[in-house]
Amino acid sequence: MLACHTRDYTRQLKTIQVSIETGKEVEWTSEVNYRFRLSAFKDRLLEFYRENPRFVVPESRMSEVVKQVSAGLEDLSVSRPSSRLTWGIRVPSDETQTIYVWLDALVNYITKTGYPWTPGQESAGGWPADCQVIGKDIIR
């Protein structure tokens, strides 16, 4: 005699999210980081844009920037746990954190211009720049 067994497989299904770029399963984690309080600059940035309407060109890109800033700015993570990011510049006075790569690159650029500058020599190394070219995908 044959017995018919039914099995409920729905409880065994798992929803996963997959990275578009790599095709690998996304793993959600949380960590402690230092953050740059970009949100505190919203009003000052909007005022600067009003006073300098050609700061970003073409005009359509300036409109995008103003729209994004007007919608609100999020604070930016500027470090990663040293256990996860073993190379790079450690956060001063906190060996548990490493400065995230894009931030240390900005520090490298400004030090090339002579920062920290000797008083009265702030423009000697070519800073501030007269023109900066940024790709539209990273203008924000």
For every one of its 140 residues, what pLDDT tens digit does the chain have, with 9 covering 90 and above?
444 444 555 566 778 888 888 999 988 888 999 999 999 999 999 999 999 999 999 999 999 999 999 999 999 889 999 998 888 889 999 999 998 877 777 777 788 888 888 888 877 777 777 777 777 777 76
Q: Are 107 and 92 in contact (CB under 8 A)?
A: no
pTM: 0.63
The pair of structure tokens assigned to 22 is 């790599």
The pair of structure tokens assigned to 109 is 């650029």
Q: Are 25 and 16 in contact (CB under 8 A)?
A: yes
